[in-house]
């Protein structure tokens, strides 16, 4: 782990009063969930366009059977536990080192690890909503897995269920809160995101236009490496955060 980058990150976090963390799929690969763009990612296997054409709100409305067949095969995550990185971020929030996490992930692992202020802007893959107007029933993964039909339906009204995740063509959740949180931070630490997915990448870009203290921890390049005060290139976010957190705890 390059110690100069770690030194600089510790220095920035130690003097920051409002650090916000942005996470992407890369923080969950260590928990066992592949990212989309990496070697085992679905975009590499099937092509980004094919995925976008199906994981799309219009496609869901037009042909729920096709959507659900694809979703069940590629998007139902295996049950996994939070990684070391998720747990350390929860600890950093408890200690007051970070104020919030804004995540693109839909795996619920930050919440499971104990983080409290989490804006999951792409939703939660462990929740399924009845789409029949006025019904509002919510189901979990076990219910959907046990449904005998490919297209799961509501046991109350028979309506079709939709994963509570933001499909292409839908608005993100917590738009204003997430943007305000990011742009109002004094230090922003991005972990495991290529920063290619909008609007989140746009919020980070907006932050980096006005402030210097952008930290990026990611394996490989991101779209905003040029704007970072410090970039740590690593495929082990758990070890990196552990070292950073230990150094901050000792410094207090």
- Contact pick of 19, 97, 194, 245 for ligand NAD (by CB under 6 A): 194
Q: How far is CA 83 from CA 12, 86, 88, 90, 230, in A?
A: 24, 5, 9, 11, 23
- Known active-site residue 86: no
Q: Build a one-symbol-per-residue string for 53-92: x at contacts with ligand NAD by CB under 6 A, - elsewhere.
A: ----------------------------------------
Residue 235 lies near ligand NAD (rule: CB under 6 A): yes
Cβ atoms of 91 and 245 closer than 8 Å: yes
Sign of the CA dihedral 241, 238, 194, 163? negative
For 57-90, give the DSSP string: HHHHHH-HHHHHHHHHHHTSPPP----HHHHHHH
Residue 164 lies near ligand NAD (rule: CB under 6 A): no
- CA–CA dist 98, 66 (Å, integer): 42
Residue 197 lies near ligand NAD (rule: CB under 6 A): yes
Residue 208 lies near ligand NAD (rule: CB under 6 A): no
Element (H, E) at 207: helix 200-210
- Contact pick of 21, 24, 115, 118 for ligand NAD (by CB under 6 A): 24
- Contact pick of 70, 219, 242, 243 for ligand NAD (by CB under 6 A): 219
Binding site for ligand NAD (CB under 6 A): 24-26, 28-30, 33, 35-38, 104-107, 122, 192-194, 196-197, 218-220, 235, 237
Active-site residue list: 122
């Amino acid at each position: 782990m390059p110690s100069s980058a770690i030194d600089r990150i510790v220095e920035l976090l130690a003097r920051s009063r409002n650090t916000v963390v942005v996470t992407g799929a890369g923080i969950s690969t260590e928990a066992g969930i592949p990212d989309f763009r990496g070697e085992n990612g679905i975009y590499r296997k099937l092509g980004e366009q094919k995925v976008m054409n199906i994981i799309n709100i219009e496609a869901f409305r037009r042909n729920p059977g096709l959507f659900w067949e694809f979703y069940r095969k590629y998007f139902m995550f295996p049950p996994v536990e939070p990684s070391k990185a998720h747990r350390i971020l929860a600890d950093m929030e408890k200690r007051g080192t970070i104020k919030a996490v804004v995540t693109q992930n839909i795996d619920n692992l930050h919440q499971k690890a104990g983080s409290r202020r989490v804006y999951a802007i792409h939703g939660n893959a462990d929740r399924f909503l009845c789409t029949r107007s006025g019904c509002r029933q919510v189901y979990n993964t076990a219910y959907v897995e046990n449904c005998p039909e490919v297209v799961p339906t509501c046991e109350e009204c028979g309506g079709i269920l939709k994963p509570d995740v933001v499909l292409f063509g839908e608005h993100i959740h917590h738009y204003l809160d997430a943007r305000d949180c990011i742009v109002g931070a004094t230090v922003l630490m991005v972990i495991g995101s290529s920063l290619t997915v909008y609007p989140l990448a746009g919020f980070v870009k907006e932050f980096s236009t006005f402030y210097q203290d952008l930290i990026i921890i990611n394996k490989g390049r991101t779209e905003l490496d040029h704007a970072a005060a410090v970039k740590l290139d690593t495929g082990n976010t758990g070890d990196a955060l552990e070292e950073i957190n230990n150094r901050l705890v000792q410094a207090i």
